[in-house]
Structure 1
Amino acid sequence: MTTSEPLGDGRSWPDPERVGRYRARVFAERDRLRAAFTDPGAQQRRVLADLLAFNADTAYGRAHDFGRVRTLDDWRKAVPVQDYSALAPWIERAAAGEDNVLTADRPALFFTSSGTTGSHKKIPVTPRFMHTTFFPFYYAAWAPLITHFPDVLARPDAVLNLKHDPLTTPPTTASGKPHIGASQADFGTRFGEPLSAEPGTHAPWATLPTPLAPDAHLDKTYLRLRMAVESDIRCIIGINPAMVAALPHQLNLWWERIVREVRDGTLGGHPFRSPNPERAHELDRLAAHFGRVRPAHIWPHMRALFCWTTGLASLYLPRLREEFGPGVTLLPAPVAASEGPTGVALDRHPTAGSLVVTASLYEFADADQDLTPDTPTLRPDELEPGRDYHTVFSHVGGLYRYAVGDVVRVVDHEDGVPRLEYTGRSTLSNVAGERLRDAHVLRALTTALTAGGLELRNAACRVVTPDHHGTPAYQFALAPAIPWSDAETDVFLTRLDHALARESPGYHQARTRLRLGAPTALRLHPDAFLDDWHATVATGVRPTQVKDRLFRQDPAHWQRLTDGKGS
């Protein structure tokens, strides 16, 4: 996020005391959250009481009798479990400029969703939401990074923040409010929080000197990378791991151009700074010695990667980490969406974050059941380790009993609250009653890969029906880290079939009753998914929105991913 503080020369903090003030704020929010764990039930009751009192006189509050609600059971009776489509009419009224619809304070802006298909959601973002729900978890999320790797704050150009994407002229709603991604918002100016600027957002490349079209995302990525090769990067912040995975690919894709521009002192073909033949010679030497250049060669002092570490990324992050250096640490980004937070890691756990009990009122439902307006829900203290759950939250920002569409898995309980990891979206693939979720397939893939000692750089699947009739079956697009033989692929598919049957009773039944055929595979080039990522970004989609997706039924997208890539 950007800040209202001046950036000075872009290579040193404008205020020598800023790092100290930032660290103090981060640790204070972490400590407040940990203190709240001593009585999480009381914190949840406080959150409910606060959102009811603050928003009771809104149109939504009056329609749902907020004034009569006292307990969680009252809340369940007053408000149905609902998704974005159910709240959309209320949100659109607020986006059009009507006051007092969902919240007592006016939305300052609207976050866009991170989806890549369909119209983007408009998530109302109010000052009360930011100060009550967002900022406390947001600051705390950086505590593990700056505790264990304090040198990442020594210089603003020590961090390459891939998701930072400020806009000079953001798109707006009908009422003129910005409709942007969280990574594009200036929290310092809009909410009076100058310390909220993330690590890396004071870097020289934070504001590009070369003006570009708003949707020229690949050009922006190139320019930042070209500038960054002249800095001593210690940390990569990506949040979306697909962005981190793309970086080594981009280095080699653009390598000759980068070295030439470093030598000439140009940026995007324009004069930029003094020529740097010494650094260009060093980069040439690295390429001659190693052949394929890795981030670890360019930035030998790399310490940490900060991104989501679960989902499909769990398949490729262990090997990807080696690209950045043998001692590099993976730190998990928060379990959160544009609509609000769920979990935040307060230590170096590789996948899970503690429930943010101060941010929202949380309810959960078994992930294998369909969510309906009257689905029975569980309190956080009723969750069981090793189980998957739908996430439903309510907060003062106007999202009430909101099913965010994420499924989380309870890893354990720590300090009195569950620790959760993101397992995927709640969307079902269900052509023959198999009811497969992301988590089912990911766990099955992991089981089958481990049994054969195989590795993937990424995977996707779709349902196919031969000649548009007969028995449907799942076809997997697989990008092996190293080539697989036909025999290895056949054994892998058998193991995958069995693992899917163990993960999903519906899949087992569909296979037993011959309603679903055996899975098949297309082995792709190792870079197939990276090429597809670049092709999507080239169409104008922001990199933060181009995420790993397991189920891909769109024929055109599947064709682009797999065309000519078979091995």
Structure 2
Amino acid sequence: MNTAGSWDTPGHTERYRARVFQERDRLTASLADMRQEQQRVLADLLDFNADTEFGKHHGFAGIRTIDEFRRAVPLQDYSAHAPYIDRMAAGEANVLSADPAVVYFTSSGSTGAHKKIPVTRRFMRTTFFPFYYAAWAPLLEHFPEVLSRPDAVLNLKHDPLSAPPTTADGRPHVGASQVDFGEMFGEPLSAEPGTGAPWATLPVDVAPDDHLQKTYLRLRLAVQSDLRCLIGINPAMIAAVPYQLNLWWPRIVREVRDGTLGGVPHRAPDPERARELERLADYFGVVRPAQVWPRLRALFCWTTGVASLYMPALREEFGAGVTALPAPVAASEGPSGVALDRHGSAGSLVVSASVYEFVPADDDLLPGTETLLPHELEAGRDYHVVFSHVGGLYRYAGGDVVRVVDRVGGVPRLEYAGRNTRSDAAGERLRDAQVVRALHRALRATGLRLRNVACRVEPSAGAAVRYTFALAATTPWSAAEDGRFAALLDQGLTAESADYGRARADGRLDAPVLRHLDRDAFHRDWHTAVAGGIRPTQVKDRMFRQDDALWQRLTHTTTDGENRHE
């Protein structure tokens, strides 16, 4: 993200393009000998951190091979790293990394609890920045107009903070999109597209946790610009934009006409643009982004997981010719894959960033679980990602599951499949990636389309439990379509999961049922979460919604927040 002002520096855009393509070329070159590159990364992290407490305890100085490393260090998740990280955050040096943490990234994980991910200068230089710059290459190569003006991009994840929360040792504890990489790490070219726009730093006072108001203000300013791209990373943020335009439309038009921003005088009144916006609403009945920004070319966000179910319909909201480019397969803890071309979902393994290991997604992650190396992966299979990098995370299972799409030059290309959480009420051990694929199968067979979906386990009269799927469809479904879709979904879940099939055959699970919500239910739910103080980047699509209160909020709220009675 970062320093908006750098985009005003003469020659910045040209230097930025050059850096992006240079980093892509370097990553591409590193793919030529994947095994050698992985050995180089391992040797570097062992040497750099050999004298840390963790390195001494696990004998880093004597390790030479990946097999020795696997024998010396157990598979670990965040909870295993947390005691070390807490000591680092309290100011203790040389614990996990020889390099002190400069900042701690937040990560919501699968539970919503905020993790503290230590971010060191060495990590940023060797692991983060190479993939971070390269990720923008397909966008800049094929849609160069996105950098033609500072206001050509609406970057929805850009959220700078003037006074960020800190850890005990005074280091910022924030989201990656809230860190000024230029100021903190000496990377003036690190400012993302869109961070030089008029709405990047809001010109009116807004409470730091009033995320809905910030979202409104940026959208209100953006309707007066000729947008060519939206950046969201989290696709739920982009999916909310069509809903927000209609929700706030009268207020937006009034403020454009009056020249106000959040009720405060901002710029010259623009009655001509206001009349144009009114005509759009009058003519089409609803307001679509494609009408507000007719020259929009690209969306940049995750395109897989639950989002893959609604992405085709969402792209149409922004324009028939709009391209959805995949954001990197990455988390706050580190990257896994980055798209180096225009593939719609997958990116090449970032072999120069971390040492990677994988575990078949249906296996449990235990300290002694055997792992696979990148060259052992099979196309069409799902895997847990385990990585180790110089920043101080070792054999770290972050909770993401990826799917191997194919190989390019022997290097696997990965797409995000979902979190590693399972729904297991009756021994079915369902993963959200399996549910997504079963839903795709039913949608393809019926020609139906969704705006979003979630599910939960509920009591059933015919068996102990059954799955209820809450659906927001693009158009109403008939009773016959409902019945066929539910039957196909049941078949798809059985095909995806042998455990689900056995639970159905044994009578432990009844057939799934559908519960239709209105088309905006998921967007209202998203708004409610954001209004409650959660940053938009962290309000993500979740397939499994077992929490009673959250399920009730999704299925029973109306536009005014009141409960409706069915």
- TM-score norm. by structure 1 comes to 0.97
Describe how 1:158-177 pairs up with structure 2 within 5 A.
158-177=152-171
What is the match of residue 333 of structure 1? 327
3-state SS in 2 of match to 1:100: coil
What is the match of residue 398 of structure 2? 404
3-state SS in 2 of match to 1:448: helix
What is the match of residue 256 of structure 1? 250
3-state SS in 1 of match to 2:524: helix
Alpha-carbon distance between aligned partners in 2 of 1:551 and 1:116, rounded to the nearest angstrom: 11
What is the match of residue 431 of structure 2? 437
The aligned amino acid for 2:405 is V
What is the match of residue 539 of structure 1? 532
The aligned amino acid for 1:281 is R
The aligned amino acid for 2:356 is Y
Question: Is residue 137–residue 344 contact of structure 1 (8 Å, CA) maintained in 2?
Answer: yes
Alpha-carbon distance between aligned partners in 2 of 1:282 and 1:115, rounded to the nearest angstrom: 43
Q: In the alignment, does 2:468 pair up with 1:475?
A: yes
Aligned-residue offset at 1:340: 0.2
Match among 503, 513, 524 for residue 510 of structure 1:
503
The alignment-based identity, stated in percent, is 68
Alpha-carbon distance between aligned partners in 1 of 2:451 and 2:267, rounded to the nearest angstrom: 38
Alpha-carbon distance between aligned partners in 2 of 1:459 and 1:382, rounded to the nearest angstrom: 34
CA deviations over 1:354-392 (Å, ceiling 9, x no partner): 000000000001111101111111110110100111100
What is the match of residue 6 of structure 1? 5
Describe how 1:229-308 pairs up with structure 2 within 5 A.
229-308=223-302
Q: In the alignment, does 2:323 pair up with 1:316?
A: no
3-state SS in 2 of match to 1:310: coil
Alpha-carbon distance between aligned partners in 2 of 1:406 and 1:494, rounded to the nearest angstrom: 29
Describe how 1:219-230 pairs up with structure 2 within 5 A.
219-230=213-224
Match among 135, 150, 159 for residue 141 of structure 1:
135
Question: Is residue 470–residue 516 contact of structure 2 (8 Å, CA) maintained in 1?
Answer: yes
What is the match of residue 10 of structure 1? none
Aligned-residue offset at 1:485: 1.5
Q: In the alignment, does 2:62 pair up with 1:48?
A: no
- TM-score norm. by structure 2 comes to 0.97
Match among 26, 29, 36 for residue 35 of structure 1:
29
Question: Is residue 389–residue 408 contact of structure 1 (8 Å, CA) maintained in 2?
Answer: yes
Alpha-carbon distance between aligned partners in 2 of 1:372 and 1:556, rounded to the nearest angstrom: 31
Corresponding residue pairs, total: 560
The aligned amino acid for 2:469 is F
3-state SS in 1 of match to 2:117: strand
Aligned-residue offset at 1:119: 2.8
What is the match of residue 344 of structure 2? 350
CA deviations over 1:195-226 (Å, ceiling 9, x no partner): 00000001111110111111100000000001
Question: Is residue 94–residue 101 contact of structure 1 (8 Å, CA) maintained in 2?
Answer: yes
Question: Is residue 378–residue 404 contact of structure 2 (8 Å, CA) maintained in 1?
Answer: yes
3-state SS in 1 of match to 2:430: coil
Alpha-carbon distance between aligned partners in 2 of 1:311 and 1:118, rounded to the nearest angstrom: 18
CA deviations over 1:206-254 (Å, ceiling 9, x no partner): 1101111111000000000011111110000000000000001000100
Alpha-carbon distance between aligned partners in 2 of 1:432 and 1:299, rounded to the nearest angstrom: 49
What is the match of residue 88 of structure 1? 82
Question: Is residue 463–residue 508 contact of structure 2 (8 Å, CA) maintained in 1?
Answer: no
Question: Is residue 129–residue 395 contact of structure 1 (8 Å, CA) maintained in 2?
Answer: yes
Question: Is residue 114–residue 544 contact of structure 1 (8 Å, CA) maintained in 2?
Answer: no
CA deviations over 1:281-339 (Å, ceiling 9, x no partner): 11111111111111111111101000000011111111110111111111000000000
Question: Is residue 356–residue 388 contact of structure 2 (8 Å, CA) maintained in 1?
Answer: yes
Gaps of at least 5 residues in structure 1 are 8-12
CA deviations over 1:427-465 (Å, ceiling 9, x no partner): 111111111001110010111111111111111011112
Describe how 1:449-460 pairs up with structure 2 within 5 A.
449-460=443-454
Alpha-carbon distance between aligned partners in 2 of 1:84 and 1:540, rounded to the nearest angstrom: 24
Match among 355, 362, 365 for residue 356 of structure 2:
362
Question: Is residue 115–residue 545 contact of structure 1 (8 Å, CA) maintained in 2?
Answer: no
What is the match of residue 556 of structure 2? 563
Gaps of at least 5 residues in structure 2 are 559-564
Question: Is residue 463–residue 507 contact of structure 2 (8 Å, CA) maintained in 1?
Answer: no
